Chains A and B, each alone.
Chain A
Amino acid sequence: MMAKTLTVCIMEPPYESANSTTSMRIIDAALQKGINVNVFAYEGAVSLTVKDQKPHPNPVHGTSVEEEKHPTTRQLVAGLFELAKEKGVKLDWINCGLCVDERGAGNWIEGPRRGGPGDFHKWVQESNATLVIPTK
């Protein structure tokens, strides 16, 4: 039986909202279930995959970088790509190109590609379901 496909559009920049976490939990759950997932990162969400993100220590907690194990969003997204590979399903991640340009967010991890609204529309027409998670 052919795997189903879920298309998700996200907008939140990293570290600002629980929306990012929940969107990644939904993507994770779908991949775990053998569902192909398309992710269109729009506006601030294009910064989720920036390669230059660095984990930091926590002076308030007194932890070092190693002890804190601070998850960066690029690591979370990289983990989703690994999960997709392990499950034999497709995770296709597009960063909206104009949003990338205006944010200077073009140095991203392996996995995502550049695209635009036309790519999202094509996915929507071809997917079994679409979820848009806006920002406020």
Chain B
Amino acid sequence: MKRILCVVETAYRGTQEEQDDAVLWFSHALKNGGGDVGILLRGNAVNYAVSTQDPAGLVIGKFSIEHPANPNKDLLKMKQAGMPIHVVREDTEERGIAPDSLTQEFELISRRALPGLFAQYDQVWHW
């Protein structure tokens, strides 16, 4: 079976209306269907690794968004389901994200190590 790495780089795109991050959802669906899928968070998507996110409470007109996406929690579930979750260290540092605010279950990886990570997969989908 082809092993797939999904590189996620755009955070919070439509996550209120969709109540999911579309790429994380898709990747998890592939895993649920028997796929072998890993995740690499880079760019502003490294913020998904921050453990204290609170997306709740938006009301637009009369409509309350009841179950907005919590990408951090979704990634934790994906990790628990056996999906490797990698986070580009330098991208967290650029954004001033404190290391102890990151979910510890996710693996920090340096940009220099990306070729080696990519080599572990048959396909690399850059979303």
| A interface list, Cβ under 8 A from B | 9, 11, 42-43, 102, 116-118, 120-121, 124-125, 130, 132, 134-136
Contact = CB atoms under 8 A, between A and B. Distances in A.
Interface string B24-35: 001001100111
A134 B30 contact: no
B10 A117 contact: no
Contact of B29 (A11, A116, A132, A135): A116
B112 interface: no
Interface stretch (B60-68, B72-80, B103-111, B119-127): B119-127
B127 A134 contact: yes
A117 B22 contact: no
Pairs A-B, 7 closest by C-beta atoms = A117-B29, A132-B125, A134-B127, A118-B33, A121-B30, A121-B35, A117-B30
B123 A130 contact: yes
B2 A125 contact: yes
Interface of B: 1-2, 4, 10, 13-14, 18, 22-23, 26, 29-30, 33-35, 123, 125-127
Interface centre among B1, B33, B126 (most CB of A within 10 A): B33
Given A42-B22, A43-B22, A124-B4, A132 B126 contact: yes
A118 B22 CA distance: 15
B30 A130 contact: no
A96 to B, nearest CB: 9
B127 A132 contact: yes
Contacts of A116: 29
